[in-house]
Amino acid sequence: MKLKLHWQILIALVLAILYGLFLPEYVGYVKWMGDLFLNALRMIIVPLVLTSIITGVTNIGSEKNLGRLGLKTLTYYVVTSLFAILVGLFWVNLLQPGVGANLGLTQKVTGLEAARQSFGKTLIDIIPKNIFVAFTKGKMLSIIFFALMFGYFITRLGEKHRLILTDLFDAFFEAMMKLTMFIIKFTPLGIFGIVANVVSRQSGHLGALAGSLGVYMITVFLGLIFHATITLPTLVKFIGKLNPVKHAKAMATALLTAFSTSSSSATLPLTMEAIENNAGVSNKISSFVLPLGATVNMDGTALYECVAAMFIAQAYGIHLGFIQQIVVVFTALLASIGAAGIPMAGLVMITIILSAVGLPLEGVGLILAVDRILDMSRTTVNVWSDSCGAVIIAKSEGEKLKVE
Ligand code: ASP
Least confident range from 6-20, 197-211, 260-274: namely 197-211
260 belongs to a structural domain: yes
Say how far apart CA 70 and CA 7 lie, in whole Å.
Answer: 36
339 belongs to a structural domain: yes
Q: How far is the CA of 108 from the centre of ligand 1 (A)?
A: 21
What length is written for the chain? 404
Q: What is the mean pLDDT of residues 60-79?
A: 88
Higher-pLDDT residue of 272, 125? 272
Q: How far is the CA of 375 from the centre of ligand 1 (A)?
A: 6
At residue 65 the predicted structure's pLDDT band, cuts being 50, 70 and 90, is confident
Q: Give residues with Cβ within 8 angstroms of 168, minimum separation 6.
A: none
H-assigned helices in 185-298: 187-202, 212-226, 232-238, 244-250, 252-261, 264-277, 283-296
Average pLDDT, the chain: 91
Higher-pLDDT residue of 209, 264? 264
Q: What is the mean pLDDT of residues 75-103?
A: 93
Say how far apart CA 319 and CA 151 lie, in whole Å.
Answer: 50
Q: Which atom of ligand 1 is nearest to the CA of 343?
A: 1
User: In this predicted structure, what is the pLDDT of residue 110?
Assistant: 60
Q: What is the mean pLDDT of residues 27-52?
A: 94
Mutation test of ligand 1: which of 378, 384, 385, 386 has the most ligand atoms closer than 8 Å to its C-beta?
378
- By CB atoms closer than 10 A (0-12, 13-18, 19+), residue 56 is buried
- Residue ranges making up the domain that contains 144: 5-396
Q: How far apart are the first and last CA of the chain?
A: 28
181 belongs to a structural domain: yes
Q: What is the mean pLDDT of residues 36-60?
A: 92
Q: Which atom of ligand 1 is nearest to the CA of 267?
A: 4
User: In this predicted structure, what is the pLDDT of residue 124?
Assistant: 86
User: In this predicted structure, what is the pLDDT of residue 18?
Assistant: 94
- Residues 282 and 390 sit within 8 Å (Cβ to Cβ): no
pLDDT tens digit string along 159-170?
999 999 999 999
356 belongs to a structural domain: yes
User: In this predicted structure, what is the pLDDT of residue 2?
Assistant: 75
At residue 182 the predicted structure's pLDDT band, cuts being 50, 70 and 90, is very high
Q: Which atom of ligand 1 is nearest to the CA of 304?
A: 8
Higher-pLDDT residue of 281, 201? 281
334 belongs to a structural domain: yes
Q: How many domains does the chain have?
A: 1
- Residues 379 and 300 sit within 8 Å (Cβ to Cβ): yes
152 belongs to a structural domain: yes
Say how far apart CA 66 and CA 58 lie, in whole Å.
Answer: 10
340 belongs to a structural domain: yes
Cα-Cα-Cα-Cα torsion 7, 13, 14, 17, nearest 10 degrees, comes to 180
pLDDT tens digit string along 300-323?
999 999 999 999 999 988 889 899
Q: How far is the CA of 345 from the centre of ligand 1 (A)?
A: 5
Which of 240-249 are b and which e, b meaning 16 or more Cβ less than 10 Å from the residue's Cβ?
bebbbebbbb
pLDDT tens digit string along 192-225?
999 999 888 877 666 666 678 889 999 999 999 9
Q: Which atom of ligand 1 is nearest to the CA of 341?
A: 4
Q: What is the mean pLDDT of residues 267-287?
A: 95
User: In this predicted structure, what is the pLDDT of residue 402?
Assistant: 93
User: In this predicted structure, what is the pLDDT of residue 105?
Assistant: 59
The CA angle 111-113-115, to the nearest 5 degrees, is: 70
User: In this predicted structure, what is the pLDDT of residue 263?
Assistant: 95
pLDDT tens digit string along 374-384?
999 999 999 99
User: In this predicted structure, what is the pLDDT of residue 207?
Assistant: 63
Say how far apart CA 58 and CA 162 lie, in whole Å.
Answer: 9
Cβ(342) – ligand 1 distance below 6 Å: yes
Q: Give residues with Cβ within 8 angstroms of 352, minimum separation 6.
A: 116, 331, 334, 335, 338
Q: How far is the CA of 402 from the centre of ligand 1 (A)?
A: 29
User: In this predicted structure, what is the pLDDT of residue 288?
Assistant: 86
338 belongs to a structural domain: yes
pLDDT at 33 over 90: yes
User: In this predicted structure, what is the pLDDT of residue 209?
Assistant: 62
Q: What is the residue with the minimal CA distance to atom 6 of ligand 1?
A: 346
Q: How far is the CA of 300 from the centre of ligand 1 (A)?
A: 8
pLDDT at 351 over 60: yes
CATH number for the domain including 225?
1.10.3860.10
